[in-house]
A = this chain, B = another copy of it.
Amino acid sequence: MVCAALAREQGYSVLALTVDYNQRHRVELEAARRIASALADRHIVLPLDLRAFGGSALTSDESVPKDGVQPGIPVTYVPARNLIFLSLALGWGEAEGSRDLFIGVNALDYSGYPDCRPEFIEGFEALARLATKAGTEGREFTIHAPLQHMTKADIAREAQRLGLDAALSHSCYDPLPDGSHCGLCDACRLRAKGFAEAGITDPTRYAAVTDEA
């Protein structure tokens, strides 16, 4: 949401891509629809069943860890997910004549996912040149990751500055049937910590509350 709003603020029209990858936290698709209604010029929700591959707690029956953010890459890592997402965005972007792709990855307050790191984003930008007709013909793509070096507190502050309703967004990997955030998965802990550190009221409904991130 913050990434899309920053793109708009910079004067871009926003073509929003949501991938329905049969994720455990399907409720984020509804959040994406709400956010796209508010911020995007167009929105595609693309079904792509990554549960066919599995290999992640988000796309299989494996449990989502609830015991706090641990060192290393957690089981909620979805194999090659951000590469798949950016590749799809590149395909749509090239078809539309776009030159700028935005992705809301964050490499500070995060779970250690390899495909959130700056070297991955830079590598993708270089490969986009080789992978596409546009790139081959000199119309290069820029991958923008404006949240990359922000803390979650910075992101919460940006949301406030941009006049965004944080309640529109969803972070939890393992939401309750009523759509509320579990409060204990990494995504919930990092989200809550961000609001707390920023001193901004957190509008999120958490089913459980913990003090440790």
Contacts and interface: CB of A to CB of B under 8 A. Distances in A.
A83 B87 contact: yes
A114 interface: yes
B91 A115 contact: no
Stoichiometry (number of copies): 2
Contacts of A117: 130
Interface string A14-52: 000000000000000000000000000000101111101
Helix, strand, loop or mixed for chain A's interface? helix
Contacts of A115: 130-132
Interface string A75-115: 00111111110011011111110000000000000000011
Given A80-B90, A80-B91, A115-B132, 12 more contacts: A46-B49, A55-B95, A77-B133, A79-B91, A79-B94, A79-B133, A83-B87, A83-B90, A84-B87, A114-B135, A117-B130, A120-B130
